[in-house]
C-alpha cells in the first residue's frame, strides 16, 4: 500500500509535467526569451537523462507493486546531479549517493557499450544478469563508467573516496602502470543527514589535514541537500555553514531547480579540483519529491505547503519549462523526449521482468569466490618468500608478512599514526619505512 501511494504521486508528477509543458507552448511565442546559458544540444541531452531517471523511478514502484522488485529509493527531486555525469569522466573514480540515476545515465553517454537504462532496470529486480551486483542488490555503479558500487546513509563511502583521491597522485608518484590521467579527480556524493555522521566529519577533517601537509587531493564532495534525513529535518543553513567553514576546502553552491546555474557551479567545482588538485565541495540544494523510500509516507511529517514547494521545484519540470521559455527547445520537443524516455524504460522493464534471479546459495557466492581465490593466488605468486621462515613471536611474523607484501606488491601502501619511523606502537612496522620508502610507508593523523 505504501509503495502504491508513492507510485500514484509519481504518476501525478508525470501528468503535471505533461500539463505544464503543454501550457508553456501557449505562451512561448509571446514571451520574452529568458537567460539560459546551456546550448540546445546540451540542454536536450541533460533533460533526456533526467527524464529517463524519472521514468525509472516509476518503473521501480511499478515493479514493487507487481511483486517483482523491492528497491524503491528514488532519484525524484535529485535529478540535477545529471550535470556531474556530463562534467566528470569515466577516468574520474566516483562513489555515488543512492539517488544518482540521472548522473549515471548521463555519464553512460561516454561509453556506447553501456546501456545505462537496462543496467539500472536489471538491478531493480535483482537479476543475475545485472552487470554490477550479479543479482545480489540494487546499487549505482559501473566498472566501465568508473563508478564504484558503494553508498550508505552513514557516510561509509566518504573515507573510501578520500583514499581514491589520495591514490590518484600517489600512483603517479610511484610510477605504477595503469595510473589515472594527470588531471583525474575522485568524486563522492552523499546526503545532508550523512554529513552529520562522525565518518563524514572524520573524512572532511582528514581531507583538510592532507592539504595542510601540502599534498595533492583531487576530491569533489557533493552534498545533495534535500533538508531531510528520512523524517528528521536538517537545521536551516547548517549544511552551508558546516561545509563552508572547513579549512582548505573550496565551497560551491547551487540550487537544483535552476539547471543552467547548477551546471555552471558544478563546472567551477570540477575545474577547481582538476586545476588545483585540491578538494572542493558542491552543496547542491534540492527537494525530495517522495518519502525516503516506498515504505515511508512523508505526508505524515511534511505539511502540504512543503510538499507543494517541492513539486514547484521539481528539477525535471523546471528545467523543461526554463528551456522552453528561453526558446532553446519547443514544448513539442520536450514532450517528444518524455515519450522517448517512457518507451525506452518500458522496454528495459520488460527485459527486467523476464530476467531470472539467484535461486541458490551457490549462485549467490559464485561471482565472489573466484575473485577471492584469484587475489590470494596472485599475492602468493608474487611473494619473495615462498619458503616461509619460522618466527619467534607473533609481532615478528606480522612484520615479516608486511615486508613480503610491500616487496611483492609495488602498489601496496602502509599508513597510519606512528607506523613509519617509530615502527608502530608495538614495533610491528619497524624497519618497513626504510625498506619500502616514505612514499609507501608513512604517518597519518590518528583517524
Distance, in Å, from the CA atom of 331 to the CA atom of 47, rounded to the nearest integer, reads: 13
Q: Delimit the domains of the chain by residue range.
A: 2-362, 368-443
Taking the C-alpha atoms of residue 363 and residue 357, their distance in angstroms, rounded to an integer, is 9
**88, 187 in Cβ contact below 8 A?**
yes
Judge whether 218 and 168 are in contact, CB under 8 Å: yes
Query: 325 pLDDT exceeds 80?
Result: yes
Grid cell digits, residue 265:
557551479
pLDDT value of residue 133: 86
What pLDDT score was predicted for residue 152?
A: 74
In this prediction, residue 295 has a pLDDT band, given cuts at 50, 70 and 90, of: confident
pLDDT at position 139 is 87
For the chain, how long is the longest CA-to-CA vector? 88
Instruction: Encode pLDDT of 103-128 as tens digits.
Output: 999 999 999 999 999 999 999 999 99
The domain covering 2-362 belongs, at the CATH homologous superfamily level, to: Thiamin diphosphate (ThDP)-binding fold, Pyr/PP domains (3.40.50.970)
Q: What is the pLDDT of residues 44-79, one digit of tens each?
A: 999 999 999 999 999 999 999 899 998 899 999 999
* Average pLDDT for the chain: 91
DSSP conformation letters of 255-319: ETT-HHHHHHHHHHHHHHHHHH---EEEEEE----S-SSTT--GGGTS-HHHHHHHHHT-HHHHH
Is 117 within 8 Å of 169 (Cβ atoms)? no
Question: What is the rounded average pLDDT of the residues 222-248?
Answer: 96
pLDDT at residue number 418: 96
- R_g over Cα of the chain: 24
pLDDT in tens, 387-443: 555 667 899 999 999 999 999 889 999 999 999 999 999 999 999 999 999 999 999
**Cβ–Cβ under 8 Å, residues 326 and 33:** yes
Domain covering 368-443, topology: Rossmann fold (3.40.50)
What is the spatial distance between Cα 297 and Cα 107, in angstroms, rounded to a whole number?
32
Inter-CA distances, 45 with 20, 50, 246, Å: 20, 9, 35
Do 443 and 420 form a contact (C-beta atoms < 8 A)? yes
Judged against a pLDDT cut of 80, whether residue 368 lies above it is answered with no
Same fold, 2-362 and 368-443: yes
Q: What is the DSSP letter of 142?
A: B
Q: For residue range 163-173, what is the model confidence (pLDDT) as tens digits? A: 999 999 999 99
Residue 242: pLDDT band with limits 50, 70, 90: very high
Amino acid at each position: 500500500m505504501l509503495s502504491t501511494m508513492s507510485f500514484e504521486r509519481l504518476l501525478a508528477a508525470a501528468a503535471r509535467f505533461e500539463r505544464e509543458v503543454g501550457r508553456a507552448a501557449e505562451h512561448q511565442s509571446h514571451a520574452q526569451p529568458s537567460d539560459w546559458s546551456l546550448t540546445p544540444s546540451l540542454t536536450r541531452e541533460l533533460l533526456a537523462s533526467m527524464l529517463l531517471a524519472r521514468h525509472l523511478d516509476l518503473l521501480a514502484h511499478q515493479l514493487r507493486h507487481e511483486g517483482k522488485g523491492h528497491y524503491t529509493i528514488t532519484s525524484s527531486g535529485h535529478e540535477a546531479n545529471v550535470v556531474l555525469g556530463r562534467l566528470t569522466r569515466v577516468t574520474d573514480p566516483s562513489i555515488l549517493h543512492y539517488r544518482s540515476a540521472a548522473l549515471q545515465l548521463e555519464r553512460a553517454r561516454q561509453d556506447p557499450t553501456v546501456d545505462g537504462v537496462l543496467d539500472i532496470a536489471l538491478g531493480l529486480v535483482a537479476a543475475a544478469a545485472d552487470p554490477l551486483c550479479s543479482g545480489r542488490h540494487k546499487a549505482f555503479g559501473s566498472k566501465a563508467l568508473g563508478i564504484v558500487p558503494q553508498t550508505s546513509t552513514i557516510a561509509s563511502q566518504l573515507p573510501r573516496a578520500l583514499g581514491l583521491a589520495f591514490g590518484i597522485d600517489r600512483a603517479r608518484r610511484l610510477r605504477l602502470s595503469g595510473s589515472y590521467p594527470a588531471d583525474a579527480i575522485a568524486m563522492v556524493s552523499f546526503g545532508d543527514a550523512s554529513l552529520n555522521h562522525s565518518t563524514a566529519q572524520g573524512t572532511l577533517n582528514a581531507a583538510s589535514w592532507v592539504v595542510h601537509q601540502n599534498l595533492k587531493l583531487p576530491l569533489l564532495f557533493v552534498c545533495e541537500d534535500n533538508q531531510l534525513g528520512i523524517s528528521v529535518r536538517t537545521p536551516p543553513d547548517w549544511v552551508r555553514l558546516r561545509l563552508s567553514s572547513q579549512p582548505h576546502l573550496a565551497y560551491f553552491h547551487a540550487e537544483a531547480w535552476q539547471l543552467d546555474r547548477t551546471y555552471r557551479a558544478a563546472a567551477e567545482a570540477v575545474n577547481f579540483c582538476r586545476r588545483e588538485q585540491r578538494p572542493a565541495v558542491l552543496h547542491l540544494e534540492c527537494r525530495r519529491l517522495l518519502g525516503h523510500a516506498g515504505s515511508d509516507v512523508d505526508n505524515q511529517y511534511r505539511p502540504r505547503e512543503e510538499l507543494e514547494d517541492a513539486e514547484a521545484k521539481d528539477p525535471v519540470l523546471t528545467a523543461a519549462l526554463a528551456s522552453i521559455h528561453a526558446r532553446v527547445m519547443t514544448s513539442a520537443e520536450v514532450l517528444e523526449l518524455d515519450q522517448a524516455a517512457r518507451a525506452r524504460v518500458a522496454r528495459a522493464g520488460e527485459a527486467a521482468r523476464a530476467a531470472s534471479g539467484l535461486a541458490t546459495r551457490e549462485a549467490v557466492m559464485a561471482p565472489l569466490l573466484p575473485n577471492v581465490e584469484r587475489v590470494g593466488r596472485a599475492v602468493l605468486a608474487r611473494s619473495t618468500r615462498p619458503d616461509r621462515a619460522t618466527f619467534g613471536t607473533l609481532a615478528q611474523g606480522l612484520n615479516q608478512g608486511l615486508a613480503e607484501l610491500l616487496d611483492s606488491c609495488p602498489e601496496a601502501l602502509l599508513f597510519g599514526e606512528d607506523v613509519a619511523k617509530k615502527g608502530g606502537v608495538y614495533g610491528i612496522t619497524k624497519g618497513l619505512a626504510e625498506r619500502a620508502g616514505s612514499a609507501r610507508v608513512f604517518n597519518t593523523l590518528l583517524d
